[in-house]
Chains A and B, each alone.
Chain A
Amino acid sequence: MEGFMYPNEVELQWSVLIVLYPFLTGLVAGAFILASLERVFRVEEVKPTYRLALLTALAFLIVAPMPLQLHLGHPERSLEMLLTPHRSSAMAMFGFVYLWYLMAVLVVEIWLDYRKDIVEMAQSSTGLRRVLYRIMTLGSTNISPEALSLDNRVGWVITIIGIPSAFLLHGYVGFIFGSVKANPWWSTPLMPVVFLFSAMVSGIALVMLVYMLTCAMRKVSIDMRCLDTIAKYLFYTFIIDFTLEMLDLIHRIYEADESFRSLDFMMHTKLFVSQIVLQIFLGTVTPLILLALTQLFPLPVAVRKRIYAFSGCCTLIGILAMRWNVVIGGQLFSKSFLGYTTYKMGFVTREGLAPAIVLVILPFIILYVLIKLLPPWYEELPTPNSASAAD
């Protein structure tokens, strides 16, 4: 502790788990928006990642509330937020926004898109898998061309609803922070917008990396037309995101209100590595320059692949650092603007590093299971043999 903190402020309230919460929901929203590019905006190039993006979004959405649940002082009371929500609280809406997005958008869209495959797999597989697929058909086994065309139309409507819902899901997370007037580091109307664009950036980068990785694991060649298009969208959204973040920063520096000296000091000391080095230089400027190179010069495929992989990783590190700087950074200074505290992260504690690492790995395990259950590849439709080989 340096300077003066109000005595109750010495202890940080929101830990690394709350850093993960906006990070994970951001990946969900971003992945969904990438999927909607193909569905609604007819960007045919990204078709190979359509289903993969939806499954990625679902895997991360399942994990998204876990850090919150772990963080609560009384997790057994968490249902009260749904049963007796306090209408003036931004946080009380979380359960509803989450359930809406999960049940009304993502699950329905995936089900409609996979319905034909599920019915076929229910007929062709055996044993437990057959039971599982039969349950997943929900009794709807009509796969006539008319029925599939209806699926397609309903799916399109769901995606149309899904885009504002994805914006809502993550814009809302930004609002939770942006509406805290007691905290000048958080309190800005730009927060939901910055969160939204950083979510799109991180989600697109994640799906791009997962696509490259799955291609490598399945030993199939990457569709470069698809990858180039994803990288192009990543570049464009990144420019908007970076512009907004810099606007926020420049605005704070130029306005220099009563909190400025305190926040400025923090950026030069406690947040220097995570904000200046990781978020801005490694996580934003580096991938932006590299992606700009791929847009400006006709680079060979091998080089482009490496650039995309490296930029994708840098982007994810940068966005995670951004979440860290918002959540942890916002608690390191005193609301008296007279002092600073330090965040001491535990390791194997309820809110320590170990559960945080588990919560970052868990979505990938869920994604693996989902891919096994609902193969998102378009080139090989599952046959009984390939289904049993997957076991």
Chain B
Amino acid sequence: MNISRRHIMLLLPAAAIAWEHVLAGTPENSPNFRATDHWWGMLLDITKCIGCGSCVRACQNENHVPDDYFRTWVERYVIRDWGFEHIMVDSPDGGKNGFPPPSDNTGKSFFVPKLCNHCADSPCTQVCPVGATFHTPDGVVLVDQTYCVGCRYCIQACPYGCRYFHPTKHVADKCTLCYHRITKGLTTACCEVCPTGARQLADLKDPADPVHEFLKTHSVQVLKPHLATGAKAFYNGLDGSVR
């Protein structure tokens, strides 16, 4: 077979695409995982959170989150009994190393762990101009970092402040609900290390998941319900003051 220069020129782009495909490799195997069988969310029990910051540390280690940026963090609310209007909130270094004792012990104080709410109608996915942010069939909001243009519209659109601009990759970054773990039957890093079980991964499509019993028997709330984002981070014992 005679291959002319003309043929080579025609074949080169196809070869380049093929080579890129080879370099991309095959996706990791998860033979027992079918995305359509799951609908992921998380249960966060404020009455159980002790503000130890283990979840924040575990997340940063597991997902190589850069310093000063957070895929999950813990907030401490202090509400004095004489001034519901003056809420004091702090989250030193995202609560990574726990919290110093509060300056004032009157009133109530509690911890609120935060992470991406993996909203079913997520504003971040809606606004992404190239579709780099997307919903997986099992209800997790992910960012394709090889596709994100770095316009940061999604960061503006997230009402919960869960996204950040990765300082070295120059793309939007956020909690993946440890998708690399949950698709292998594991739980998330933050749930794994929580010493009090305040955080629990929930599969809303799995009838055997204890989340169903919990939702039936507790007053559970999501953050900023008026924004109708379809948030799937369900909070037990959520005070009305939490934003």
Give A contacts to B, CB under 8 Å. 3-9, 11, 13-14, 68, 71-75, 77-78, 80-81, 84-86, 88-92, 94, 176, 180-183, 331, 334-338
Contacts and interface: CB of A to CB of B under 8 A. Distances in A.
Nearest to A77: B149
Given A13-B156, A14-B152, A182-B123, A86 B89 contact: no
A61 B151 CA distance: 20
B19 to A, nearest CB: 19
Given A73-B171, A74-B170, A84-B130, A4 B89 contact: yes
Given A8-B162, A80-B147, A80-B149, A86 B91 contact: no
A128 to B, nearest CB: 34
12 contacts: A5-B161, A6-B160, A7-B161, A8-B155, A14-B152, A73-B152, A74-B171, A85-B129, A85-B130, A89-B130, A90-B127, A182-B157
Contacts of A7: 68-70, 73, 91, 93-94, 161
Interface string B216-243: 0000000000010000000000000001
B153 A8 contact: no
A8 B70 contact: yes
Contacts of B128: 86, 89
Interface in B53-88: 68-70, 73, 75, 87-88
A74 B150 contact: yes
Contact of A4 (B90, B129, B152): B90
A8 B165 CA distance: 9
Contacts of B193: none
Contacts of A337: 243
Interface in B91-126: 91, 93-94, 114, 123, 125-126
Contacts of A75: 149
A219 B91 CA distance: 64
A91 B153 contact: yes
Contacts of A68: 151
Contact of B123 (A6, A77, A181): A181
A73 B165 contact: yes
Interface of B: 68-70, 73, 75, 87-91, 93-94, 114, 123, 125-131, 147-153, 155-165, 169-171, 227, 243
Given A72-B150, A75-B149, A337-B243, 14 more contacts: A6-B73, A7-B68, A7-B70, A8-B162, A13-B155, A73-B169, A77-B150, A89-B130, A91-B153, A180-B127, A181-B157, A182-B158, A334-B161, A336-B89
Given A7-B70, A8-B70, A86-B130, A14 B156 contact: yes
A4 B165 CA distance: 20
B163 A8 contact: yes
B162 to A, nearest CB: 7
Contacts of A181: 123, 157, 159, 227
A89 B147 CA distance: 15
Contact of A180 (B157, B163, B164): B157
- Please list the 4 inter-chain residue pairs (A to B) with the smallest Cβ-Cβ separation, ordered nearest first: A73-B150, A6-B161, A73-B170, A182-B159
Contacts of A94: 129
Contacts of B93: 7
Nearest to B161: A6
Contact of B165 (A13, A91, A92, A183): A13
Interface of B is mostly: loop
Nearest to A13: B152
Contacts of B149: 72-75, 77-78, 80-81
Contact of B156 (A81, A85, A180, A338): A180
A334 B243 CA distance: 10
A139 B84 CA distance: 76
B100 to A, nearest CB: 15
Contacts of B170: 73-74
Contacts of B163: 8
Given A8-B70, A335-B160, A89 B89 contact: no
A86 B131 contact: yes
A84 to B, nearest CB: 6
Given A4-B91, A74-B148, A182-B123, A91 B161 contact: no
Contacts of A9: 161
Nearest to B169: A73
Nearest to B131: A86
A80 B152 contact: no
B126 A89 contact: yes
B130 A338 contact: no
Given A13-B165, A89-B153, A338-B243, A80 B89 contact: no
Nearest to A10: B68
Nearest to B163: A8
A336 B243 contact: yes
Given A4-B91, A73-B148, A335-B243, A92 B159 contact: no
A94 B68 CA distance: 33
Contacts of B156: 13-14, 180, 182-183, 331
Contacts of A86: 128-131
Contacts of B150: 72-74, 77
Contacts of B90: 4
Contacts of A73: 148-152, 165, 169-171
B8 to A, nearest CB: 27
B7 to A, nearest CB: 28
Given A74-B171, A181-B123, A84 B161 contact: no
Contacts of A180: 123, 127, 156-157
A387 to B, nearest CB: 44
